[in-house]
Amino acid sequence: MKLYDALFDRVLTRTDAEQAHHAAFRAIRAARPVTGRALRTGRRPVHAMGLTFPHPLGLAAGFDKNAVGIDALAALGFGHVEIGTVTGLPQPGNPTPRLFRLPADHAIVNRMGFNNDGAVAVAARLAARQAARLARGLHEPSRRGPIVGVNIGKSKVVPDGDQAAVQADYEKSAGLLAPYADYLVVNVSSPNTPGLRSLQAVDRLGPLLEAVRRRADAVTQARVPLLVKIAPDLDDADVLAVAELATGLGLDGLIATNTTISRAGLVSEPAVVEGIGAGGLSGRPLADRSMEVLRLLRKAVGDDLTLVSVGGISTVDEARARLEAGAALVQAYTGFVYGGPLWPRRIARGLAGGFAG
């Protein structure tokens, strides 16, 4: 048994999952001077959305909600780090406990509820990081560091039925955060904010994306790529409708997929699953549907949009399969949690041709 596997099985699984996350993230940030020096990640540059990614593997939104560890996470081997989800207003999220592991399924259930410091605080943190990097001469392309994505969502107190208020909330976040984003993601697919997924309906999504695009353009000199993240629980017809909308609006890409509300096919004890309750499921059980949605989207949009595949990626072979199915980039969250701190480097090297695993 590998050291991290033993730690996960004997310690982390017996610790509250959210507290374990915070402890692990603190350790990652503290170890950055060492991990940064040791980094020798395989190179497989990806040119997408007018950006050059060091390699295809990135960290999905949800791990670093508040932009406190971007460079420490990159030092582990991620080529891009997507922060957030950030909302216009700071919010504590849902009551605890709200993060759960299903080790038998290599899965996680969360109902975090977009807990974050809010767009004002996160923008200030990103501005300070940018200023520090400029002062150290790290703005040069060869020393640029990871691509940074910013994922924005709806504040819970904003009524989901009030389209004008919803758009104003997203516009606030876009206005504050777009200046520091290499790309911007509109999240309308988390199952943990009541009513949020209703925004995936094309008649509501179209005006929302247009509003975000206008606001981002108004606060930036260079055009920031805009993507939307969709749920795996959309039926195929709705997936295709979103694809058509994204192409028609000239979006830069789609991220597929977010977590699922389905519990089909789990091998964990039913009583355990029932005891956890509601929330979005991520990890291995999501892999098949995530791949299905990716293939649907690639067939629908051709080469017009960048597709980012996330959901159930644990190995080099699984990541490579997503790239072969049409994704330009892949992201992970649960695979990283179960794989440990050496996992990103292993996957990146494997995708660069080092080995499979």
Q: Report pLDDT for 355.
A: 43
* Mean pLDDT computed over 234-245: 96
- What's the pLDDT tens digit per position in 289-319? 999 999 999 999 999 899 999 999 999 999 9
* Mean pLDDT computed over 254-263: 98
Which residues are known to be catalytic?
A: 190
Q: Report pLDDT for 145.
A: 80
Domains annotated for the chain, with CATH where assigned, are 3-351 (3.20.20.70)
Whether 65 has a binding-site annotation, put simply, is yes
How far apart, in whole angstroms, are the C-alpha atoms of residue 307 and residue 254? 5
Which has more confidence, 172 or 3? 172
- What's the pLDDT tens digit per position in 73-104? 999 999 999 999 999 999 999 999 999 999 99
* pLDDT bracket for residue 2 (50, 70, 90): low
* pLDDT bracket for residue 222 (50, 70, 90): very high
Whether 61 has a binding-site annotation, put simply, is yes
Q: Report pLDDT for 1.
A: 46
- What's the pLDDT tens digit per position in 178-194? 999 999 999 999 999 98
Residues 6+ apart with CB under 8 A from 9: 1, 103
pTM, rounded to two decimals: 0.94
Q: Report pLDDT for 232.
A: 97
Residue type, 257: T
Q: Report pLDDT for 353.
A: 83
Q: Report pLDDT for 207.
A: 96
Predicted confidence (pLDDT) at residue 5 exceeds the cutoff of 90? no
Q: Report pLDDT for 33.
A: 87
- What's the pLDDT tens digit per position in 115-138? 999 999 999 999 999 999 998 887
Judged by average pLDDT, the poorest of 39-48, 52-61, 116-125 is 39-48
* pLDDT bracket for residue 357 (50, 70, 90): very low
Mean pLDDT score of the chain: 93
Which has more confidence, 31 or 42? 31
Predicted confidence (pLDDT) at residue 51 exceeds the cutoff of 90? yes
* Mean pLDDT computed over 17-37: 92
Residues 6+ apart with CB under 8 A from 253: 48, 49, 183, 225, 227, 246, 305, 306, 307, 308, 328
Tokens coding 278: 């509601």
Whether 111 has a binding-site annotation, put simply, is yes
Whether 229 has a binding-site annotation, put simply, is yes
Whether 151 has a binding-site annotation, put simply, is yes
* Mean pLDDT computed over 99-118: 98
CB neighbours (10 Å) of residue 45? 11
